[in-house]
């Protein structure tokens, strides 16, 4: 299942046995890997993969007043096929700031398997002689309970404090901060993270926004780890030595592969802040301590801050040793198993590096692999996690949810008789996963407030990368292909779509990349290859020379000088931007819409040993054929067309292409341009 926003990334297989006519220049022999251009965010966006299944049916009645979660959900009737649910568009004027500011970031990406390093980071058995003088002093203070170390002031939780910190910033930023504060106080961290990320696209220099985004991300990452049963199991059961080896592996991958030289002090402080958040989380206490330490946690957090908040950490060896010392001290003071503390430092190290780098828990790593393959087991919906529901972004065409007439804008209130508001969005989404053919029951509410109980069987489904193929203007032969993401099979699917349109009289093509978060880099390169005969398509540059690569036209898949228009918007990211930038730089087509997202860094997914998940690291930056940067700049359209709201198109609600065009200003502008360009 897929929680949105969380897009695919870009991956490109670069092994030397691949039979491709593209040139690849590299001063060093590339490792056998998949290159990833991951889309923004977070699992912040924490976006588990889409869920699918086969559906039985339905009956509609008002939701009864509940006494307990089980009784409430069980009393909602099954939806029968004869009762057609109606779906209306939301009242955009009433949508809150949190809903309007949808996250620009996307998490996800392709992957490239890399053999795990065999080297290890030594952990000192004691601190004597192992650390610098500052660390020795800090550890002495931590053991003695002294608080002489200077520290930064604690974060204020009041809106007034935030306003004072950012008094020089646009009042709009203040509005975002206040709303984010309200969401955070209600433990709605995913929503808070989404609006902070969206706001940072408009105000990237706001220090307070950056700080609040980082805090929200720590909370969201913690919720994701706690919801992953595999992570909880190995964090509980690993020996200290196994946990230390896990941390070793992650630190070495950061040291060797990240695009920037790591700032180990910053990474340690980030890990310490994350650990402090974990210690006060009731579910963390229950799962790893078996009891509440609320009466101790305040003093413990203060001692950790006082002792360690400004300690310099010079290298990954000191990081690893200091993490182990903190682990033993927490065991002494509150009984937290030291392996749990070490795993917490390991799982938060990457997220300190940049917006996109992160630890992938085993469950999330499995989801990511499913995204790359383009198939999932579940009920076939893309979800956005909310505090009291799972919001349906869309149902995958042909999947169980689609067959049950679940649509974008619906809300999932319960899964298997457990209320989302009681167990949380991510755990509820986890309940949708399971073996193909097994049943799952959900309670769904339509935008009109009508509620249904649906029973479905999970199933495996292929996620289409081409969402729609048709002639939008038959008289002028104007074809339209909606490309929703880039997968391994996208080039072949694209060729079939073009062949289908040619049979219908294709004379020019509109390629819609709006809201396309990216996907397989090879697929994006291959689509560009259909339209140009020579020259660079995209190049990458990193700290390691092995990341410096150039992808050029293969001259084998050219489809002719077909007039081309590419549609983009602010959510077109990564591989979509590679395609749009290449078409623009080669002057091969017209770009129409709004400036794209601006995700121009390459990421690599490294699997970790012993089934401990993976780590996603930013390893390079990519550049358009002209050499211009895409990161934070995006691709500007040749013809800018602004829209008040992206129309929600549902084939069941629209009877003709004319109705769709009438609601879509960008598509209408593209058709006018294509009409004038037709030979």
Bridge pairing between strands 549-552 and 564-568: unpaired
* Per-residue burial over 601-632, b = 16 or more CB atoms within 10 Å of its CB, e = otherwise: bbbbbbbbeeebbbbbbbbbbbbbbeeeebee
d(CA 619, CA 128): 36
Q: Which of 637, 631, 636 is nearest to 598 (CA)?
A: 631
H or E element, residue 473: strand 466-473
Question: What are the phi and psi torsion angles at 588 (to 5°)?
Answer: -95, -15
Among 190, 273, 361, 574, the active-site one is 574
585 is catalytic: yes
599 is catalytic: yes
Tokens of 564: 């081309």
What pairs with residue 347 in β-bridges? Answer: none
For the chain, the maximum distance between any two Cα atoms, rounded to a whole number of angstroms, is: 83
d(CA 338, CA 260): 30
d(CA 206, CA 196): 10
Tokens of 568: 């983009």
Per the listing, tokens 């779906």 go with: 87
Q: Which of 52, 410, 364 is nearest to 223 (CA)?
A: 364
Q: Which of 38, 56, 55 is nearest to 47 (CA)?
A: 38
d(CA 331, CA 283): 18
574 is catalytic: yes
Cα 500 off chain centre by = 34
Reduce the DSSP state of residue 486 to 3 states and report it: strand
| Degrees, nearest 5: CA angle 254-260-264 | 55
Give Cβ neighbours of residue 164 (< 8 Å, ≥ 6 apart).
none
d(CA 209, CA 369): 32
Tokens of 675: 């009409």
Tokens of 166: 């950012």
d(CA 352, CA 248): 16
Helix 240-257 with 316-334: angle, nearest 10 deg: 150
Give Cβ neighbours of residue 312 (< 8 Å, ≥ 6 apart).
132, 134, 135, 265
d(CA 577, CA 574): 5
Among 104, 473, 493, 585, the active-site one is 585
Q: Which residues are catalytic?
A: 574, 585, 599
């Amino acid at each position: 299942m897929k929680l949105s926003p969380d897009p695919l990334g870009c991956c490109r297989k670069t092994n030397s046995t691949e039979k491709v006519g593209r040139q690849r220049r590299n001063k060093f022999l590339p490792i056998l890997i998949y290159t990833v251009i991951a889309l923004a965010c977070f699992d912040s966006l924490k976006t588990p993969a889409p869920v699918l299944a086969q559906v039985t049916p339905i009956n509609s009645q008002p939701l009864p007043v509940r006494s307990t979660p089980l009784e409430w959900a069980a009393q909602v009737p099954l939806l029968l096929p004869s009762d057609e649910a109606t779906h209306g568009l939301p009242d955009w004027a009433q949508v809150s700031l949190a809903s309007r500011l949808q996250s620009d970031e996307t998490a996800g990406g392709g992957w490239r398997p890399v053999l795990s390093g065999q080297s290890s980071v030594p952990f000192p058995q004691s601190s004597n002689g192992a650390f610098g003088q500052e660390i020795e002093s800090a550890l002495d203070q931590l053991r003695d309970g002294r608080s002489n170390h200077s520290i930064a002031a604690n974060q204020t939780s009041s809106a007034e404090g935030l306003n004072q910190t950012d008094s020089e910033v646009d009042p709009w930023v203040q509005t975002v901060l206040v709303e984010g504060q309200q969401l955070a106080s209600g433990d709605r961290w995913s929503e808070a993270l989404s609006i902070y990320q969206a706001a940072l696209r408009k105000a990237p220099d706001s220090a307070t926004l950056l700080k609040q985004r980082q805090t929200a991300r720590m909370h969201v990452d913690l919720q994701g780890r706690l919801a992953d049963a595999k992570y909880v199991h190995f964090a509980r059961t690993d020996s200290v030595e196994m946990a230390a080896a896990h941390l070793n592996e992650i630190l070495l991958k950061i040291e060797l592969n990240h695009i920037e030289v790591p700032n180990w002090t910053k990474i340690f402080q980030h890990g310490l802040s994350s650990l402090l958040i974990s210690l006060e989380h009731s579910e963390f206490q229950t799962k790893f301590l078996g009891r509440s330490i609320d009466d101790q946690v305040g003093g413990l957090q203060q001692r950790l801050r006082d002792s360690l908040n400004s300690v310099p950490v010079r290298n990954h060896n000191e990081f690893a040793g200091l993490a182990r010392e903190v682990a033993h001290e927490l065991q002494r003071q509150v009984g937290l198993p030291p392996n749990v503390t070490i795993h917490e430092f390991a799982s938060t190290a990457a997220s300190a590096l940049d917006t996109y780098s992160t630890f992938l828990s085993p469950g999330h790593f499995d989801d990511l692999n499913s995204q790359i393959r383009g198939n999932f087991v579940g009920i076939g919906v893309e979800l956005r996690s909310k505090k009291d529901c799972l919001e349906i972004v869309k149902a995958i065409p042909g999947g169980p949810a689609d067959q049950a007439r679940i649509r974008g804008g619906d809300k999932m209130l319960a899964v298997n008789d457990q209320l989302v508001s009681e167990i949380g969005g991510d755990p509820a989404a986890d309940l949708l996963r399971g073996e193909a053919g097994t049943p799952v029951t959900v309670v769904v509410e339509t935008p009109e407030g009508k509620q249904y109980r649906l029973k479905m069987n999970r199933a495996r489904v292929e996620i289409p990368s081409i969402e729609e193929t048709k002639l939008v203007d038959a008289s002028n032969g104007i074809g339209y292909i909606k490309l929703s993401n880039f997968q391994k099979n996208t080039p072949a699917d694209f060729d079939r779509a073009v062949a289908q349109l040619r049979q219908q009289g294709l004379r020019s093509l509109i390629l819609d990349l709006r809201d396309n978060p990216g996907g397989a880099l090879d697929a994006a390169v291959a689509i560009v290859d259909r339209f140009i005969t020579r020259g660079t398509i995209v190049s990458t540059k990193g700290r390691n020379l092995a990341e410096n690569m150039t992808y050029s036209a293969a001259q084998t898949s050219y489809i002719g000088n077909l007039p081309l228009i590419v549609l983009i918007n602010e959510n077109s990211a990564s591989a979509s931007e590679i395609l749009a930038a290449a078409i623009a730089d080669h002057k091969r087509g017209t770009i129409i819409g709004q400036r794209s997202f601006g995700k121009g860094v390459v990421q690599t997914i490294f699997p970790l040993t012993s089934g401990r998940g993976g780590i996603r690291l930013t390893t390079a930056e990519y550049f358009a054929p002209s050499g211009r940067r895409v990161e934070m700049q995006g691709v500007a359209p040749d013809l800018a067309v602004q829209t008040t709201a992206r129309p929600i198109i549902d084939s069941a609600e629209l009877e003709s292409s004319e109705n769709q065009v009438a609601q879509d200003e960008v598509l209408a502008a593209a058709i006018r341009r294509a009409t004038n360009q037709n030979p």
